[in-house]
Structure 1
Amino acid sequence: MARSMTDHPESEPYRLATSASHLLHRAEQLASERFTQLVNGAVTLRQFAVLAAVHENSGLSQSDLVRATGIDRSTLADMMKGLENRGLVVRTPSTADGRAYSVRLTQSGAAILAAATQHARAADAAILDLLPRTKRKA
């Protein structure tokens, strides 16, 4: 009978090669590297995630984007400055909350998002291709 990843006796050394959390982290790194290569460095996978989230819900606040993307608040704030400086997003004061900013894509941001989408799908496919079809779920 095959041993599960949780069947390791306490006396065995911890091995990264069998660590689900480490393997998930490595899969994310590989997907990110693959994506960056495919888009020739136009945006990172995390920047793409922000652009996609803004596209899905134009006018989101940065707090909403933190929840939508899982990117921490300070990292997202730095990313937003960079995306805004590159002319990919605009931030305007929120009409609902004077302390918050609403984020929208610019035409340039929408164009980068459209061009990068096929590459994001290819990066996803490269990772999913490592899994047997019977283990994949939509």
Structure 2
Amino acid sequence: MTVPTKILAAAVCAGLFGAACSPIVQQHGNLIASEKLNEIRPGATTKDEVQRILGTPSTLSTFNDRSWYYVSRRTSQVAFFAPSTESQESVAIDFDTSGVVAGVRQFDLRDSKSVELVARQTPSVGKELGFLEQLIGNIGKFNAARRTDSGNRGEI
């Protein structure tokens, strides 16, 4: 290889390695523009109008349909590392019993709370069998049915 070819090959390799380390940015959810949010007027806007203006909500309230949530999250991930949240915006729209907007609440990443998942398992009733017990545990458990004097099968 000549010197310019080696330099070109090194530059191509460096470019490929550099591209592999660039972050992957993803946008999840419904990012609501502030102009659209300004169209929502508490006491006047109905559920149908909210859906027409903002679209389908990301989720509804767990116990009733009187709160709609629009959630947007932007994450980035470099190579094999865990993704990190860059920004998060949430809008909660509360409705009264007649389906008219009662209030609009906005949240961002500072308002969120981390939830630790529990890795425990619920124990089940019974004996824990080892590999060998599982493999040969049934040997001797199956006996031929004993016959009684009357010809009927007896207990096993």
Rg larger in 1 or in 2?
Answer: 2
Give the TM-score normalised by the residue count of structure 1: 0.27
Greater strand proportion = 2
Greater helix proportion = 1
